[in-house]
Every structure is written in C-alpha cells, then in structure tokens.
Amino acid sequence: MQMKYVFYTVSLLLFTILQPTLFQNITFFGTVPNLFLIYLVCVSCYLTKKEGCILGFATGLVLDLLVGKVIGVNAVLMMILAFFITSFFENVIRNNTLLITLLLVFVTTFFYEAVYYIVTFLGDLHLGTVIVKVLLPESLYSLIAAIPFYFVIKKFAKNFLLDKGEGLG
C-alpha cells in the first residue's frame, strides 16, 4: 500500500476523532470548524481529480455517519467540492500556498454550509440570519483552524511523498 493512502486514512480517522470531541468544546460565536472540509481542502490540492473525488466521497460518508440526517448528502457534496478543488489546483494554480489554501477553506466552508442548510431545511430558513450567525463565523473559524493542519499536511507531503519520488497524484 502506498504511503499516501496510509496517510489519508490515518488523517481521516484522526479528524473523525477530533471533530466530535476536542473541537466541539472550542466554539467561536457558537460554531465549530468543519475539520472534514479543512482536511479535504488541504489534501485535495495534492490529488488528481479521481483521487480527490474518492477522498471527498469517503470523507463525506464518514461525516454522514457521524452527524448526517440523510446519508449521502455530505458524501456527494464533498465529492463535488473535491473535484472542483483538484481542478482548481491542476488548471489554475499549480502552487499550493497558505493564502490560496486558506481562501479555499473559507470559500468552500461557506459554500458547503450554505448548500447543506438549503438542502436540509428546504427553504425554511432565514438566509440573512444564517449567513451572519452561522456561515461567516464558521467559515472564519475554519480558516483559522486550517493553519496548523495546512503546515502538517504540507510537511508530510514534502518529507514522505515527494522525496520518495512517489508523487502526490
């Protein structure tokens, strides 16, 4: 088994443990960061579209099993997001920089949560209130929480994958 798949699996398990335990107790304006989205954005920039879609689906499925009201919503949504993130890094930006990654974490979190709220509540929501009280604080908190994860994932990529000639995609 390639080292990168071991890393992705162990990382996903770690985020599965951290999301409902540690980060549920550290809130920002009543929100918690979506570690699964942070993980997906930080890792997807090193993947091909196919690998990104598989990782996105797996990450979303784990999230569905943890907190989802409807199994499959997160899986499909995260798979779509991973496709666009990997496409962005393949076609638009070839360098994975902290600023680009953090911007993607913010935008992806905002978009994901907006779509999730619309699908979950099917129009029974006050969008202005949701944006101010949930989407912006959670997107900002996810952006801040992504900083240490970005450096850990980038260090792993440089030290364990690129040096062995394995590549990241």
Q: Which domains does the chain have, with CATH numbers?
A: 3-152 (1.10.1760)
The whole model's pTM is what?
A: 0.82
Cα separation, 123 vs 47, whole angstroms: 35
Q: What is the pLDDT at residue 59?
A: 93
Q: What is the pLDDT at residue 103?
A: 93
Structure tokens at 2: 């390639």
Give the Å distances, CA to CA, from 3 to 8, 55, 123, 126.
9, 15, 44, 46
Q: What is the pLDDT at residue 123?
A: 61
- Higher-confidence residue: 110 or 94? 110
Lowest mean pLDDT among 9-13, 64-68, 137-141, 154-158: 154-158
Residue 76 has pLDDT above 80, yes or no: yes
- Higher-confidence residue: 4 or 73? 73
